Amino acid sequence: MNPILIIIKDLKSDRNVIKSGLEKAVEEGRPAIVAKIIERPEYLGVYNPQAEEYIVQRAWQEVEKAIEEGKKLGINVYGLVKIGILEEKIDEIAREVKAQLVVIGQKKINGFKKLIFGHNSKRDSFEYTCPVLLVGKK
């Protein structure tokens, strides 16, 4: 069954994103995937392996807390941590998991506009057809 993909930046600012995504998963009887994208171009490589390992571990801690919230609601929740450019990683993950819906915070809208409308000559538009739920602060 195609999952609800929940994109987070951090737990504190994305509480409503997590809540909305998990509620949608419960409502539709679907699993959820909580994905945290560490925004950094992959081509830069790793300059400080210990620092990157620490950043990734912290990201997983946040994802695991969101997973626990979903498990309390009785749904299957999985996690992902990716490093790269936000809009490219959203597209990549949505394709990989065949997302039914992408839930993302409105503060990330600029990057998402690039994804939908294209941001360079190689990419004309958001190629993966999937509804998007933008969540604002309440």
Mean pLDDT on 6-35: 94
Domain residue extents for the chain: 4-135
Mean pLDDT on 75-96: 92
109 membership: H or E segment, kind and range: helix 109-117
The predicted structure's pLDDT at residue 45: 67
CATH node for 4-135: 3.40.50.620
Q: Is the dihedral of CA 109, 104, 115, 43 positive or negative?
A: positive
User: pLDDT digit string (tens) for 54-69?
Assistant: 999 999 999 999 999 9
Chain-wide mean pLDDT for the chain?
84
